[in-house]
Amino acid sequence: MAQLDAQELAQAFRRQFEMEPKIFSAPGRVNLIGEHTDYNDGFVLPSAIGFYAHVAVVPRKDTKIILRSTEFEQTFEANISSAGLHKLGGWCDYVLGVAAQLSERGIQVPGANILVHGEVPIGAGLSSSAALEVASAMGFLSLAKAEMPLKEIAKLCQRAENEFVGAHVGIMDQFVSCHGRKGNAVMLDCRSLDCELVPIPDSVKFVICNTMVKHELSGGEYNVRRQQCEAGVRILANAYRGIRALRDVSLQQLQAQASSMPEIIYKRCLHVVAENDRVIETARMLRAGNLKSVGKLMADSHASLRDLYEVSCAELDLMVEAAQGLLGFIGGRMTGGGFGGCTVNLVEEQHAAKFAEMVAERYKAKTTISPDVFMCSAADGAGVEIEGRR
Ligand code: GLA
What DSSP line would sit under 5-67, residue for residue? -HHHHHHHHHHHHSS--EEEEEEEEEESS--S-GGGT-EE-EEEEEEEEEEEEEE-SSSEEEE
What pLDDT score was predicted for residue 218?
47
8 A C-beta contact, residue 66 and residue 113: yes
What is the 100 CA–ligand 1 centroid distance (Å)? 22
Share of the chain above pLDDT 90, in %: 87
What is the 102 CA–ligand 1 centroid distance (Å)? 23
Distance separating the N- and C-terminal Cα atoms of the chain = 24
What pLDDT score was predicted for residue 214?
84
342 vs 364: CA distance, rounded Å: 15
Residue 257 identity: Q
Residue 236 identity: L
Mean pLDDT, to the nearest integer, of 240-258? Answer: 98
The residue whose CA has the least distance to atom 9 of ligand 1 is 170
355 vs 347: CA distance, rounded Å: 8
Please report the atom of ligand 1 found closest to the CA of residue 37: 12
pLDDT-based confidence at residue 52 (cuts at 50, 70, 90): very high
Mean pLDDT, to the nearest integer, of 18-31? Answer: 95
Contact residues of ligand 1, CB 6 A cut-off: 35-36, 38-39, 169-170, 172-173, 217, 336-337
Per-residue pLDDT at 217 exceeds 80: no
Cβ-based neighbours of 245, under 8 Å, separated by 6 or more:
40, 41, 42, 191, 233
What pLDDT score was predicted for residue 122?
86
Measured torsion, CA atoms of residues 237, 240, 243, 249, in degrees rounded to the nearest 10: -110
Would residue 57 count as lying in a domain?
Answer: yes
Task: Output b/e per residue, 76-114; b: 16+ Cβ within 10 A.
Answer: bebebeeeebeeeeebbbbbbbbbbbbbeeebebbbbbb
The residue whose CA has the least distance to atom 5 of ligand 1 is 337
Residue 165 φ then ψ, to 5°: -80, -35
pLDDT-based confidence at residue 213 (cuts at 50, 70, 90): very high
8 A C-beta contact, residue 258 and residue 266: yes
CATH number at residue 162: 3.30.230.10
Residue 370 φ then ψ, to 5°: -85, 115
Would residue 340 count as lying in a domain?
Answer: no
What is the 170 CA–ligand 1 centroid distance (Å)? 6
Would residue 96 count as lying in a domain?
Answer: yes
Mean pLDDT, to the nearest integer, of 265-269? Answer: 98
Please report the atom of ligand 1 found closest to the CA of residue 337: 11
Pairing of the two strands 64-69 and 112-118: parallel
The residue whose CA has the least distance to atom 11 of ligand 1 is 337
Three-state DSSP state, 201 = coil
What pLDDT score was predicted for residue 45?
98
Total domain count, the chain = 1
174 vs 341: CA distance, rounded Å: 18
pLDDT-based confidence at residue 273 (cuts at 50, 70, 90): very high
Please report the atom of ligand 1 found closest to the CA of residue 125: 7
Would residue 312 count as lying in a domain?
Answer: no
Threshold 0.85, pTM exceeds:
yes
Per-residue pLDDT at 242 exceeds 90: yes
Would residue 113 count as lying in a domain?
Answer: yes
Per-residue pLDDT at 256 exceeds 60: yes
8 A C-beta contact, residue 237 and residue 189: no
* Pick from 54-58, 85-89, 257-261, 372-376: least confident: 85-89
Mean pLDDT, to the nearest integer, of 297-316? Answer: 97
Measured torsion, CA atoms of residues 342, 159, 264, 187, in degrees rounded to the nearest 10: 60
What DSSP line would sit under 313-343, residue for residue? -HHHHHHHHHHTT-TTEEEEEEESS-SSSEE
* Positions marked catalytic: 173
Would residue 102 count as lying in a domain?
Answer: yes
What pLDDT score was predicted for residue 296?
98
Per-residue pLDDT at 389 exceeds 50: no
What pLDDT score was predicted for residue 2?
57
What pLDDT score was predicted for residue 1?
45
Would residue 269 count as lying in a domain?
Answer: no
pLDDT-based confidence at residue 384 (cuts at 50, 70, 90): low
Would residue 338 count as lying in a domain?
Answer: no
Residue 372 DSSP code: E
Average pLDDT of the chain to the nearest whole number:
94
Structural domain that includes position 55: 6-199+379-385
Please report the atom of ligand 1 found closest to the CA of residue 167: 8
The residue whose CA has the least distance to atom 8 of ligand 1 is 169
pLDDT-based confidence at residue 81 (cuts at 50, 70, 90): confident
